[in-house]
Amino acid sequence: MLFIMTLHHTPQSTLPATTFRYFALYPLLFLLAIMSSHAVSAEQTAADRGEALYLENCAICHGTEGTGGMGIPLSIASFLDSASDEYLRKTIRLGRPGRIMPTFYRMSESQINDIIAFMSGWRKKAAPSWNSTPAKGDVDTGRALFGTHCASCHGKEGYGGHGSGLRFSRPKDLPITAPALNNQGFLNAAPDEMLHYIIKHGRNNTPMPSAKSLSLADTDISHLVRYIRSFQQPILHSNSRYKEEPASLVVDSPYSFDETVDNVKRAITGSNFVHIRDQSLNFGFNTSPSKNARQTIVYFCNFSFLNEALKIDPRVGMFLPCRITVTENNGKVQMMSINPKHLSQLFNNRELDESCDQMYDIYTGILEDASL
């Protein structure tokens, strides 16, 4: 406004022509500045929305600052330098079947883009862009190279390291658990050019070495990429791997309530488990000193099995120690327990599936023995 007033009170003949051109451009420059500030504001809003979504959906495994935990670290430069926005987009959408990370198929495209906008704040340089050209290599040669240089961490068949990324579940000298390469979520998200880059450069601050340190030539990398790509299959629908399993196992007992409880304890010992304690079903739910003696939970455990299960996935702790509930209602005695096969489908952990199958056999064996 000061400039306009000065212009109004100054004779036109005393002002140079360049001054008039400057004042003519001033409104345009002011408008461009406003538009630029609005663009920056919109970008920050997307990142803010993405931060909220990240904290709600991702931080529990990958850490609030992306430094890792049960999930791999996302904020380290060696990861971000290879992760294109499209790779992140597909990873969020497809998840990692059988490797804990779920599919976020219900998340909208705009929500996924907001998370990517937030993660972009961790980048030190622009996100890469990969082409979809297939690698030219030999599968058999790649298989041999994989067995020599990769299988010790990623597994003989590429299913990844054992356990989750948490410290107690992996060897102390490994900062992370090696991810699964033979995983349809990963393979459908990562193009060959990206795989080539990762193998060539390795991952700083992780056990993943560079190809140069392994004396691998560029052609060797192409063979490895071709072999890893041979694992790929058409991606399955997010719900296709789930099978209908009852939430609990229920068996009628031909014996009295007290006899059934004793039978369960004997069957537990016979299965190489330790009986821990008995507890009324309504314990802790009322202040009355009386309890329903016809509703009892029998707790038991095999501590070696428990330790191994927790290494695979600490979420197992939600249904450990093991327990079988014995009830009597209107003269009918029943034994019941959780169904490990039902629970395993909620955890998306291929390793845990095997343990839950084993635990299913143990539960059904105890229930059967106690009812004979």
Say which CATH number the domain at 145 has. 1.10.760.10
In a domain, 100, yes or no: yes
In a domain, 41, yes or no: no
CA distances from 13 to 20, 72, 219, 282 (A): 11, 71, 75, 97
Cα Rg, the chain, nearest whole Å: 30
CA distances from 67 to 72, 95, 203, 332 (A): 8, 19, 14, 54
Alpha helices in 188-315 (DSSP H): 192-201, 218-229, 257-270, 303-312
Here the contacts of 350-358 (C-beta below 8 Å, separation 24 or greater) are: 350/97, 350/98, 350/99, 350/159, 351/162, 351/163, 351/312, 351/313, 352/309, 352/312, 352/313, 352/316, 353/98, 355/308, 355/309, 355/312, 355/316
- 294 vs 177: CA distance, rounded Å: 47
In a domain, 161, yes or no: yes
On whether both 218 and 78 belong to a single domain, the answer is yes
On whether both 197 and 257 belong to a single domain, the answer is no
On whether both 253 and 191 belong to a single domain, the answer is no
In a domain, 215, yes or no: yes
On whether both 181 and 297 belong to a single domain, the answer is no
On whether both 85 and 210 belong to a single domain, the answer is yes
Last residue of a domain, one of 199, 229, 259: 229
Whole-structure pTM value: 0.67
- 92 vs 60: CA distance, rounded Å: 15
On whether both 62 and 186 belong to a single domain, the answer is yes
Last residue of a domain, one of 200, 229, 258: 229
What per-residue confidence (pLDDT) applies to 245? 86
What per-residue confidence (pLDDT) applies to 4? 38
- 208 vs 364: CA distance, rounded Å: 43
Q: Which of 131, 146, 350 is nearest to 228 (CA)?
A: 146
Give the range of the structural domain holding residue 286, as residue numbers without chain letter.
Answer: 248-371
- 35 vs 28: CA distance, rounded Å: 11
On whether both 255 and 191 belong to a single domain, the answer is no
**What's the structural domain count of the chain?**
2
What per-residue confidence (pLDDT) applies to 327? 96
Q: Which two tokens stand for residue 238?
A: 């997010």
Q: Which two tokens stand for residue 257?
A: 């309530």
Q: Which two tokens stand for residue 241?
A: 């791997």
In a domain, 5, yes or no: no
- 297 vs 337: CA distance, rounded Å: 10
What per-residue confidence (pLDDT) applies to 7? 38
On whether both 209 and 138 belong to a single domain, the answer is yes
On whether both 68 and 187 belong to a single domain, the answer is yes
Last residue of a domain, one of 229, 257, 290: 229
CA distances from 292 to 274, 282, 287 (A): 24, 7, 13
- 85 vs 292: CA distance, rounded Å: 58
pLDDT tens track of the chain, all 372 residues? Answer: 333 333 344 444 455 555 545 445 555 555 555 555 555 455 558 999 999 999 999 999 899 999 988 888 999 999 999 999 999 999 999 999 888 888 898 899 999 999 999 999 999 999 999 999 999 999 999 999 999 999 999 999 999 877 655 554 555 555 567 889 999 999 999 999 999 999 999 988 788 999 999 999 999 999 999 999 999 987 655 555 557 789 999 999 999 999 999 999 999 999 999 999 999 887 766 656 555 568 999 999 998 888 888 878 777 777 788 999 999 999 999 999 999 988 887 788 887 888 889 999 999 999 999 999
In a domain, 28, yes or no: no
What CATH code is carried by the domain that includes residue 306?
3.30.310.70
On whether both 265 and 141 belong to a single domain, the answer is no
What is the DSSP code (8-state) at residue 277?
E
On whether both 189 and 312 belong to a single domain, the answer is no
In a domain, 190, yes or no: yes
CA distances from 28 to 8, 23, 41 (A): 20, 10, 20
In a domain, 299, yes or no: yes
On whether both 66 and 180 belong to a single domain, the answer is yes
What per-residue confidence (pLDDT) applies to 156? 93
- 69 vs 315: CA distance, rounded Å: 14
